[in-house]
Amino acid sequence: MDSGGRFRFPSVLAVAVALAGCGADPARSFQYDPVEYHGARYLAVALVAGIVLAAWVLVRALRRRVGGAHFGALVVTSLVMLPLLSLATGMLLVFQRAERVEFCASCHRTMSAYVDDMQDPGSRGLAAIHYRNRYIPHNQCYECHTSAGMFGTIEAKLGGIVDVFKYYTGTYDVPLRMRSPYPNADCLKCHAESALWLARAEHVAAREALFTERIKCMDCHGAANPAHPVGPDGGKP
Amino acid sequence: MSVHFSSRAARRGLIASSSLTLAALLMGLAFVVHTTGGTLFLFATVAPVLVVAAIVILAAVALHEFRGQHKLFEIEYYDPGEAVFRQGDAGECAYFVRDGEVEVVKVAEGKETVVAKLGKGQYFGEMALLSNEPRNATVRTSAPTELATLGKTNFLALLSVLPSTQEDIMKTIRTRAMRMAGVPESEARRSRMSRLPAPPPAGAGESAPATPDVPGRRDGPPPEG
């Protein structure tokens, strides 16, 4: 069957790519992340297969060879199923990767100074102290800049999309400012009631005020150890 | 449901849809290989829009093709000089002249030759449906014309349930093929009386050769109409 023969090439290629992507054994480590590991591979396989098949459809359409018994299946697979599968898998990975420090740092003009300070072993900033002591093992920017719970995540992602848009359209202002004062809840989600936190008499005395945001954490900590000691020009203040 | 992307509009839609999909998938690949704010933004916001647009175009094309193949005597009006279809187009439906006149034009080496004129009560466009090949002539109107269209699926169904219609259409195809081959009308009539072709198998119009015994068929397709 002629049309079947023409269809065989991309089918075999797609299956081969899929097997190659899924056959590898995950190099497990204590930092093994199944979403990242499998998500990236499945997405890559779906994307490559989709690109090959969509290009095949395009070539056949340009050559006016749009008939054949399997052409409808080829069209649906390449232009509907694989793109939708890619988007569904991709969004998981988008959410996952948008939490990485490297992702935040990719907005060089605005974020590099903050990330550099955080990773500076000599910095006295709160972010740097958390980073070098590994108080937060992964996604250090994200962990402190998102509120607890599902809505905190959604709020952070939406805010991030707006930030990326502003960055690439150049519609941001420097020096950068927080959208709203840093909420105590974002500190207390980790520190509250911890032994170290309770060991400080000031915390215990101001407990209710801190929990209700009548006193801000940054009122005390911001002056001695600003979160990010970065000047308006990106250098040390 | 089987949809064929055979018409010019469908092919263009398919090209647009596959191009948009390719762009979206390439954005995805860029994101996977190198995640930055830019690649993530494109994949998370622009790519879904492109994929949805591609699917909408594809659905519109499929619907258009499906409706074209399932037309049931829809009435179309044409101004004089307007092309009903062109030589090389895919065949989606047969046409019945309700009023006006059309001329069948054969184009060869850039030169147009009017091979027939059809008026009220006559039909054309059936040969591409039976042979499953592109239109072998251009048909354009020479007067304000009213046509009834019958989609390919319904046309083939009509043939399978009405044997007399089959015979009539096969006679017409034979006559036109012989006229195209330069056989005189009287000879064509005699041949028609003595050698009626066997009707195509019921419901097998997709693959059955339409006029296996038509003279001139091997040298070149007969005029559409």
CA–CA separation, B78 vs B142, rounded Å? Answer: 10
3-state secondary structure A96-138: HHCCCHHHHHCCHHHHHHHHHHHCCCCCCCHHHHHHHCCCCCC
Q: Which two tokens stand for residue A167?
A: 């960055």
Residues recorded for chain B: 225
Closest approach of chain A CAs to the CA of B80, in angstroms?
30
User: What's the pLDDT at A225?
Assistant: 73
Map tokens 């054994």 to a residue: A25
Residues 115-174 of A with CB under 8 A from B: 161, 164-165, 167-168
Given A44, A83, A107, which is nearest B21 (Cβ)? A83
Residue whose C-alpha is closest to residue B2's, from B66, B91, B71: B66
Close Cβ partners of A93 (under 8 Å, ≥ 6 residues apart)? A35, A36, A39, A40, A43, B31, B32
CB contacts of B26 in chain A (<8 Å) are 51
Task: Check A66 against B4: CB less than 8 A apart.
Answer: yes
CB contacts of B58 in chain A (<8 Å) are 75, 79-80
Given A64, A79, A164, which is nearest B21 (Cβ)? A79
- Burial of A1 (C-beta count, 10 Å sphere; 0-12/13-18/19+): exposed
pLDDT of B85 strictly over 70: yes
Q: Could you tell me what percent of chain B has a pLDDT over 70? A: 76
Compute how many other C-beta atoms are within 10 angstroms of the C-beta atom of residue A123. Answer: 20
User: What's the pLDDT at A9?
Assistant: 55
A165-211 pLDDT per residue, tens: 888 888 888 777 888 888 888 889 888 888 988 998 989 999 899 99
Smallest CA–CA distance from A37 into chain B, residue:
B32
CA–CA separation, A75 vs B55, rounded Å? Answer: 10
H-type alpha helices, B35-184: 37-41, 47-69, 126-131, 152-161, 163-180
User: What's the pLDDT at A14?
Assistant: 56
- φ and ψ at residue B125, rounded to 5 degrees: 90, 5
- CB proximity B3 to A under 8 Å: yes
First-residue to last-residue Cα distance in chain B: 28
Instruction: Report CA Rg, chain A.
Output: 25
pLDDT of B218 strictly over 90: no
0.80 exceeded by pTM: no
User: What's the pLDDT at B75?
Assistant: 85
Map tokens 């559409």 to a residue: B224
Given B2, B24, B41, which is nearest A164 (Cβ)? B41
- CB proximity A51 to B under 8 Å: yes
User: What's the pLDDT at B213?
Assistant: 33
User: What's the pLDDT at A104?
Assistant: 85
CB contacts of B35 in chain A (<8 Å) are 97, 100, 102-103, 106
Close Cβ partners of A13 (under 8 Å, ≥ 6 residues apart)? A49, A52
User: What's the pLDDT at B199?
Assistant: 45
Hey, of B1, B21, B49, B89, which one would you mutate to test binding to chain A, going by the most A CBs within 10 A of its CB?
A: B21
User: What's the pLDDT at B1?
Assistant: 47
Under a CB-based contact definition with an 8 Å cutoff, are residues B50 and B24 in contact? yes
Smallest CA–CA distance from B11 into chain A, residue:
A61
Hey, of B11, B22, B50, B66, which one would you mutate to test binding to chain A, going by the most A CBs within 10 A of its CB?
A: B22
Instruction: Give the torsion sign (CA, A9, A12, A17, A20).
Output: negative
Closest approach of chain A CAs to the CA of B139, in angstroms?
22
Hey, of A63, A79, A81, A89, which one would you mutate to test binding to chain B, going by the most B CBs within 10 A of its CB?
A: A79
pLDDT tens, residue order, chain A (237 aa): 344 444 455 555 555 555 555 555 555 566 677 778 888 888 999 999 999 999 999 998 888 777 776 888 889 999 999 999 999 989 888 888 888 888 888 887 788 888 888 888 888 888 888 888 888 888 888 888 887 777 878 888 888 888 888 888 888 887 778 888 888 888 898 888 889 889 989 899 998 999 998 998 888 887 777 888 777 666 666
Closest approach of chain B CAs to the CA of A158, in angstroms?
11
Q: Which helix (H) or strand (E) holds A70?
A: none
User: What's the pLDDT at A66?
Assistant: 77
User: What's the pLDDT at B205?
Assistant: 39
- CB proximity B60 to A under 8 Å: no
Q: Which helix (H) or strand (E) holds A58?
A: helix A34-62
- CB proximity A71 to B under 8 Å: yes
B132-190 pLDDT per residue, tens: 888 888 999 999 999 998 888 888 888 888 877 777 888 887 777 777 666 665 665 55
- CB proximity B35 to A under 8 Å: yes
Compute how many other C-beta atoms are within 10 angstroms of the C-beta atom of residue A166. Answer: 14
